[in-house]
Amino acid sequence: MKGEISIFIGFECTQCGRRHPPGLVYQCPECGGSLDARYDYERFRQTVSIRDWIGRKERGIWKYRELLPVRARREPITLGEGSTPLIKSHSILKNLNIENFWIKNETVNPTLSFKDRAQSVAVNAAKDLGLGSVVCASTGNTGVAAAAYAARAGLPCSVYVPAGTPDEKLRIIRAFGAELRIVEGNYGDAYAEAGGESVRRGAFNLTSTYLNPYSIEGNKTVAYEIFAELGGVPDWIAIPVGAGPLLDACYKGFRELKAAGLAGSLPRMVGVQAQGCAPIVRAFENEDDQVRPWDAPRTVASGIADPLTTYPADGARTLRTIRESGGAAVAIGEEEIVRFRERLAAEEGLLVETSAATAVAAVSRLRERGLLQEGQSIVSVVTGHGVKDLTATTI
C-alpha cells in the first residue's frame, strides 16, 4: 500500500454547507456546525477497483486508507485496530426467531473498544498537521485509546474524565503514560476542561463527540468491514450512542459504498441509549428536530452517559441520520442492561461493557415493537469490553 494516498479534500459543514480546506479545524468557523470530511470520489473510482478495494485481505482499518482523512505518504501509526469479528448469535435471543442476528465484536480492538479506530486516525492527523501534543475528554474508553495511540505516536497526552469513571479505566489511562485529570461534575464538565487545554496549549483535541472531524472518520470502517464480511447490507444496525458519531459514520460508510455502486441498499440505523440518559431517544419519540440536554444522567452505562450539555447539536446530527435511514431510537432500562450484559457473557461467551449490552437489548425491543421482522437481518455493535467496567453492576 506504500505510495498510495487518500483522496481526502477537506470538510463540509453539516449545518451551513460551507466547505473548508484540510487543516487544523474543529467546528465550522462560520457557524459553529460540526464538519463532515469530503473525498474526491470520482478520482477514487478511477484509481481503484471498488470490488478489489472492499475485498482487500490486509488486516486493520488502514487497508481503506484512500477514504480516511490522512494525506501524508508514509506508513500509518497503528496498533492493528479494526478487522474485528462478526459473530452470529446462537443463543441469547433464539426465542425471538431472528435468523440473522450478528454481533460486531469491537471488544477485541487493541485497547478493547471501537474508539481505537478513531484514535488511530486522530494521531495520524496530528502528525499530518504538525501538532506536538493531544488532549481529550472521556468517559473512559476514548481516554484509554487516546493514551495508547499517543504513546505509539510519541505524543504527550492529557485525559480529562468525570468523577465516577470506572477505576479500571483510570488505571489503564495512567499505565499508558497519559496525564489524567479527574473533573468534578459530568462528562460535559470534562469536555469544557479539555477544550480549554486544547486552546491554551495548542494540543490536538481528540474528544470523541463530533468535535474532531478527522477522528470520527475512523468509525466508518465498521461499515466497510460489515459489508465485506456479509457480502451485503444488513437490514438494521444497532449502535449504543452518547453523542453518536459511530452511528453517523457507520451510515456514511454504507452511503459511500452505495454511491460507488457496491451496496444496493442502506441499513436502518438504531441509536440505543440508557433510560437514565436518553436525550436523543426523547427527541426521537417526541418528533423533535432539536435535542435538548439531559438534566441529570443516572445510569450504569457510563460509556454512553452523555447529557449533551454544551453541544446538543451533536445529538441532532445523530437524530437526523437515524431518521434519514428510516431507523429508530430506543432506551434500555438499568436492570435490562445488567441482565443482558450477564447473559451475553454466560450464553454467548462475550464479556462486554454495560454500554455495549444495550445494543443487544435493543434487538429484543425492536422485535417486541414489530419493527424488526422475521427474515430480516440485524447487526449489534458491541462497542467495548466488560473487563474495563466489571465492577459496574448497579448505579
Residue positions forming the annotated binding site for pyridoxal 5'-phosphate: 141, 383
- Count of positions on this chain that bind Zn ion (CB under 5 A): 8
The residue from 22, 33, 195, 276 that contacts Zn ion (CB under 5 A) is 33
Encoded one letter per residue, x for contact with Zn ion by CB under 5 A and - for no contact, window 331-370 reads ----------------------------------------
Residues annotated in a binding site? 141, 383
Contact flag: residue 324 with Zn ion (CB under 5 A):
no
Q: Give strand pairing partners of 162.
A: 183
| Separation in Å, CA 244 to CA 80, 261, 325 | 24, 26, 14
Is 15 or 133 the residue whose CB approaches Zn ion more closely? 15
Whether 252 contacts 218, CB under 8 Å: no
Examine residue 182 and tell whether it contacts Zn ion (CB under 5 A).
no
Of 166 and 213, nearer to Zn ion (C-beta) is 213
Chain CA centroid to CA 277, Å = 18
Q: Does 37 bind Zn ion (CB under 5 A)?
A: no
Query: What are the two backbone dihedrals, phi and then psi, of residue 314, each rounded to the nearest 5 degrees?
Result: -60, -40
Between residues 9 and 96, which has the closer beta carbon with respect to Zn ion?
A: 9
Interacting residue with Zn ion among 24, 31, 199, 387 (CB under 5 A): 31
Say if residues 141 and 113 touch (Cβ distance below 8 Å).
yes
Q: Residues 159, 152, 226, 73: is their CA dihedral positive or negative?
A: positive
Using rule CB under 5 A, residue 163 touches Zn ion: no
Q: What share of the chain is helix, strand, coil (3-state, %, to 5)?
A: 40, 15, 40
Site for Zn ion in 4-23 (CB under 5 A): 13, 15-16, 18
Please pick, from the candidates 30, 167, 288, 324, the single residue that binds Zn ion as defined by CB under 5 A. 30
CB nearer to Zn ion: give 27 or 120.
Answer: 27
Distance CA 66, CA 69 (A): 8
Distance in angstroms between the alpha carbons of the first and the last residue of the chain: 48
The residue among 21 and 130 lying less far from Zn ion, judged by its C-beta, is 21
CB of 29 to Zn ion, least distance (A): 8
Asked if 34 contacts 14 with a C-beta cutoff of 8 angstroms, the reply is yes
CB of 227 to Zn ion, least distance (A): 31
Q: Specify the residue, 133 or 310, whose C-beta has the smaller distance to Zn ion.
A: 310
Q: Where are the alpha helices (DSSP H) in the chain?
A: 41-47, 50-54, 115-128, 141-153, 167-175, 187-201, 221-230, 245-259, 279-285, 312-324, 334-348, 354-368
Binding site for Zn ion (CB under 5 A): 13, 15-16, 18, 28, 30-31, 33
